[in-house]
Structure 1
Amino acid sequence: MRIMPALFCMYFLNKLDQNALANAKLNSLEKDLKLKGTQYNTAISILYVGYLFMQIPSNMLLSSRKVRPSVYMAVTMMLWAVVAAVTGAVRNYAGLVLVRFFLGTLEAPFYPGALYILSSFYTRKEIATRVSILYAGNIIAVAFAGLIAAATFSTLDGAHGLAGWRWLFIIEGVVTFVVAFVTIFLLPDYPNNTRWLTAEERELAHGRILRDTVGREDSKGVRAGLIEALKDPRLYLFALMQNMHLNATSFNQFFPSVVKALGYTPVITLVLTSPPTLFAGAFGILIGWSSGRFNERTWHVTGCMGAAMIGFIINCFTLNIAARYIACFLFASGVYSCNSVILGWVSATLGQTPEKKAISLSLINVVSMASFIYTPYLYSNTDAPKYVTAMSANACFSFLSIACAWGMKVWLFRMNKELKQQNPANAVFYAY
Structure 2
Amino acid sequence: MASIATTAAVCGSDDRLFRKISWHLLPVLCICYVFNYLDRTNVGYAQLQMKEHLAFSDAVFGLGASVFFIGYALFEVPSNMLLARIGVRATLLRIMCLWGLTSAAMMFVATPTQFYVLRFLVGVFEAGFAPGVLYYLTLWFPRRRLAQATALFFMAFSLAPIVAGPTAGAIMTYLDGVHGLRGWQWLFLLEGIPCVLLGIMAFATLPDRPDDARWLSDDERATIRSLLRGEAPGPAGKSHGGVRAAMRDMRVWVLGFVSFLVILGIYALAFWKPTLLKGMGLSIMQVGLVATIPAACGVAASILVGRQSDRTGERRWHFGISALVAAAGLMLTTLFPHDPFPAIVCLTLVSIGTSSAFTVLWSMPGGILTAQSAAAGIAIISTVGGSAGVVAPAAVGAIKAATGGFTLSLYLLSSALVLAAVILITYFRPRSALAIEPSLAETR
Q: TM-score, normalised by structure 2?
A: 0.87
The 5 A counterparts of 1:323-338 are 323-338=342-357
Shift of the 403–105 alpha-carbon distance from structure 1 to 2, 3 Å rule, reads same
Most deviating of 235-244 and 38-47:
235-244
Give the Cα–Cα distance (whole angstroms) in 2 for the partners of residues 131 and 235 of structure 1: 17
Most deviating of 136-145 and 370-379:
136-145
Give the Cα–Cα distance (whole angstroms) in 2 for the partners of residues 288 and 191 of structure 1: 26
Alignment partner of 1:236 is 2:253: yes
Give the Cα–Cα distance (whole angstroms) in 2 for the partners of residues 184 and 388 of structure 1: 45
The 5 A counterparts of 1:67-86 are 67-86=86-105
Cα shift at 1:428: 4.3
Query: Residue 361 of structure 1 corresponds to which residue in structure 2?
Result: 378
Any conservation in 1 of the 2:330–2:413 contact (CA below 8 Å)? yes
Counterpart residue identity of residue 381, structure 2: I
The 5 A counterparts of 1:301-380 are 301-319=319-337, 320-350=339-369, 352-353=370-371, 355-380=372-397
Q: Percent identity?
A: 23
What do you get for the CA RMSD once the two structures are aligned?
2.5
Counterpart residue identity of residue 272, structure 2: F
Alignment partner of 1:156 is 2:178: no
Give the Cα–Cα distance (whole angstroms) in 1 for the partners of residues 207 and 391 of structure 2: 35
Provide Cα deviations, 1:132-191, integer angstroms capped at 9, x if missing partner.
322222222222212111211222111111111101111112222222221212223123
Alignment counterpart, residue 80 of structure 2, candidates 59, 65, 80:
59
Any conservation in 2 of the 1:192–1:202 contact (CA below 8 Å)? yes
Cα shift at 1:270: 1.8
Counterpart residue identity of residue 266, structure 1: I
Give the Cα–Cα distance (whole angstroms) in 2 for the partners of residues 11 and 414 of structure 1: 29
Provide Cα deviations, 1:76-100, integer angstroms capped at 9, x if missing partner.
2112111111111222211111111
Greater fraction helix: 2
Query: In structure 2, the residue corresponding to 1:221 is in which secondary structure?
Result: helix
Most deviating of 188-197 and 229-238:
188-197
Counterpart residue identity of residue 344, structure 1: S
Shift of the 324–415 alpha-carbon distance from structure 1 to 2, 3 Å rule, reads closer
Query: Residue 28 of structure 2 corresponds to which residue in structure 1?
Result: 6
The 5 A counterparts of 1:23-422 are 23-27=45-49, 29-63=50-84, 66-210=85-229, 221-249=238-266, 250-319=268-337, 320-350=339-369, 352-353=370-371, 355-380=372-397, 381-382=400-401, 387-410=406-429, 413=432
Provide Cα deviations, 1:34-75, integer angstroms capped at 9, x if missing partner.
323511011100110111111101111222xx3131222123
Give the Cα–Cα distance (whole angstroms) in 2 for the partners of residues 285 and 189 of structure 1: 28
* Gapped regions of structure 2 (runs ≥ 5): 1-22
Cα shift at 1:262: 3.4
Give the Cα–Cα distance (whole angstroms) in 2 for the partners of residues 401 and 414 of structure 1: 19
Any conservation in 2 of the 1:261–1:386 contact (CA below 8 Å)? no
Provide Cα deviations, 1:345-399, integer angstroms capped at 9, x if missing partner.
112112x22x301110000110111111011133234478861122111111111
Give the Cα–Cα distance (whole angstroms) in 2 for the partners of residues 47 and 160 of structure 1: 29
Give the Cα–Cα distance (whole angstroms) in 1 for the partners of residues 98 and 173 of structure 2: 29
* Aligned positions, number: 414
Cα shift at 1:415: 9.8
Most deviating of 14-23 and 314-323:
314-323
Query: In structure 1, the residue corresponding to 2:48 is in which secondary structure?
Result: coil
Shift of the 397–79 alpha-carbon distance from structure 1 to 2, 3 Å rule, reads same
* Gapped regions of structure 1 (runs ≥ 5): 421-425
Query: In structure 1, the residue corresponding to 2:428 is in which secondary structure?
Result: helix
Most deviating of 132-141 and 355-364:
132-141
Query: In structure 1, the residue corresponding to 2:280 is in which secondary structure?
Result: coil
Give the Cα–Cα distance (whole angstroms) in 1 for the partners of residues 117 and 233 of structure 2: 43
Any conservation in 1 of the 2:62–2:395 contact (CA below 8 Å)? no
Any conservation in 2 of the 1:261–1:384 contact (CA below 8 Å)? no
Q: TM-score, normalised by structure 1?
A: 0.89
Give the Cα–Cα distance (whole angstroms) in 2 for the partners of residues 273 and 415 of structure 1: 34
Counterpart residue identity of residue 289, structure 1: R
Cα shift at 1:229: 0.8
Counterpart residue identity of residue 317, structure 2: W
Any conservation in 2 of the 1:68–1:189 contact (CA below 8 Å)? yes
Provide Cα deviations, 1:187-210, integer angstroms capped at 9, x if missing partner.
231234445433332232232234
Shift of the 33–40 alpha-carbon distance from structure 1 to 2, 3 Å rule, reads same
Give the Cα–Cα distance (whole angstroms) in 1 for the partners of residues 434 and 272 of structure 2: 41
Shift of the 117–258 alpha-carbon distance from structure 1 to 2, 3 Å rule, reads same
Any conservation in 2 of the 1:152–1:167 contact (CA below 8 Å)? yes
